[in-house]
Amino acid sequence: MKPVVIFKNVAHEGPGYLGDFLTQKNIPWQIVNTNQIETLPSSILGFSGMVLMGGPMSVNDDLPWIAPVLALIQEARQADIPLLGHCLGGQLICKAFGGVVTQNPVKEIGWGAVNVTQNEVAKDWFGEIESFNSFHWHGETFSLPEGATHLLSNEYCQNQAYALGKHLALQTHIEVNVEMVQNWCVEGADELAESASSPAVQAADVMQENLPLHCFFLKKVADQVYGQWIKGLSV
């Protein structure tokens, strides 16, 4: 099988549990660092799937790697190569598909429930799961591109996920593990302090209460979602 390529945009936002999941399923994968623009592939056709991780930047920023990554997303769509986006990654897919990324009404950081939309597409992706406690770290939100189906929402962000065929975009983070949350609390300490007045922002110590248990249950959701996504991988 061709490898899955994972685009990493910042040092502390790697594939997390997704990497473990792919390894467990004997699916080869490799990481590309977008800030090393010379390492970006010239084509996506050598890969079975394309994954885009998160980051503190905006898809609307004038960064040198955004345009070539958007072009690779569009190439993947044309070639029917499955796309999977987490947070910023979901926003990149949105922009490449003709949608828009704007400020969310509030910044959302920490653990919080999300609800699965009641439709057949959502049932395909999430199975019998109706709601779950997910991890969030975002200040922007995406629209639904033309033809996309809404999958997840919560009280602070209406569009938490959408699917379009075998392509999946998540605003929320289902990939986090204990180490990632701990690292993000350190790396994002200034942002947490600046955003403390938001009703959807938790303090670092609150985020880390019962952290292994939170990640244990989130992993069950990730198993369901990632298990569905890999069904579309090209050989």
The string of pLDDT tens digits covering residues 92-148 is 999 999 999 999 999 999 999 999 999 999 999 999 999 999 999 999 999 999 999
182-210 pLDDT tens trace: 999 999 999 999 999 999 999 999 999 99
pLDDT of residue 127: 98
44-84 pLDDT tens trace: 999 999 999 999 999 999 999 999 999 999 999 999 999 99
Distance CA 9, CA 55 (A): 6
Q: How far apart are the first and last CA of the chain?
A: 5
Distance CA 66, CA 194 (A): 27
Q: How many domains does the chain have?
A: 1
Q: What band does 234 get if pLDDT is binned at 50, 70 and 90? A: confident
| Residue 205 belongs to domain spanning | 4-232
Average pLDDT estimate for 151-173: 98
17-33 pLDDT tens trace: 999 999 999 999 999 99
Distance CA 152, CA 218 (A): 15
Contact in structure between 33 and 39 (CB atoms under 8 Å): yes
User: Which CATH number belongs to the domain containing residue 143 in this structure?
Assistant: 3.40.50.880
Q: For the chain, give the number of residues.
A: 235
Distance CA 27, CA 52 (A): 17
